[in-house]
Amino acid sequence: MSAKLKEPGRLLPDMTEVYVSEASAMERVFDSFIKDCGLSDLSQMNTLLEKINLLSQRMAKLGTCEIAPHSLQRRCSSVRNDKEVLKRRNIDLAAMDREMEALSCGIHSHSEDLKRISKFPQLCKEVKSVDISILSDAAKSFDSVSSSSGACSSPLPEYYDPVEVEKVRSETALLRTKLADLEERLSRFGGLDTDLEVASNKVKEMETQLAKMHEKIDPARGFSGWN
């Protein structure tokens, strides 16, 4: 054999040189890393070494931990599930908080209506059969009348019937709708003060123009695009 094996006595120094060389290379890399990170200061270096030692101790404890990996996985999954449950409950609580806020505003408004109605004994008798908002509007009206006249508030007259008042209010709203529709139709020829003779002449002019347009269109019937 052309190659000769090294003697056992010289193998150990050679391995030592390899280890020393690798350690020196690693130390140069680490020093370069420390320098690039701006941690060349001795106090910062000591802080970094303390944190590294602490990390290595924690890793060692984790390696000897009695919790099995599958048990740790179950615990992590349980924590994630609990987090999702808490998130959903938080959303539900926020929704309930908004509903309670709206309910509180409604109760406050309802309470103000009842306070206003309580000034009139006859209105109080109608609370069970008539909408509170209708009675509240009536109380506002009577309050405004009594305050403008300077007279003190007195019981409502016997002929006052909130149900009939609501019927009149509904009929008035219907009449207003019909009136608006009529005004919209009349606006095509003018307003309510439009002269009927002038409007009739405009209608006749429009009918004449439409007749002329039909006369022009009739000869074109039967051709492509005019059917």
pLDDT tier for residue 151 given thresholds of 50, 70 and 90: very low
Residue 91: per-residue pLDDT: 92
Q: Are 149 and 141 in contact (CB under 8 A)?
A: no
C-alpha pair distances (Å), 180 with each of 56, 146, 175, 190, 203:
86, 33, 9, 14, 22
Q: Which two tokens stand for residue 81?
A: 């599930």
Burial label, 82 (beta-carbon count in 10 A; 0-12, 13-18, 19+): exposed
pLDDT, tens digit (0-9, with 9 covering 90-100), for 179-219: 878 777 777 666 656 666 776 777 778 777 777 776 665 55
More reliable by pLDDT, 191 or 4: 191
Q: Pick the residue with more confidence: 48 or 224?
A: 48
What region, left, alpha or beta, does residue 150 occupy, with left being phi > 0 and alpha being psi -120 to 50 degrees? left
pLDDT at 4 over 50: no
Look up residue 100 and give its two tokens.
Answer: 């309670």
Q: Is the dihedral of CA 134, 138, 141, 143 positive or negative?
A: negative
pLDDT for res 223? 44
Q: How confident is the model at residue 51 (pLDDT cuts 50, 70, 90)?
A: confident
Range of weakest confidence among 9-13, 25-29, 96-100: 9-13
User: Whole-angstrom Cα distance, residue 105 to residue 124?
Assistant: 22
| Side-chain-side CA neighbours of residue 79 (13 Å) | 6
Question: pTM for this one?
Answer: 0.29
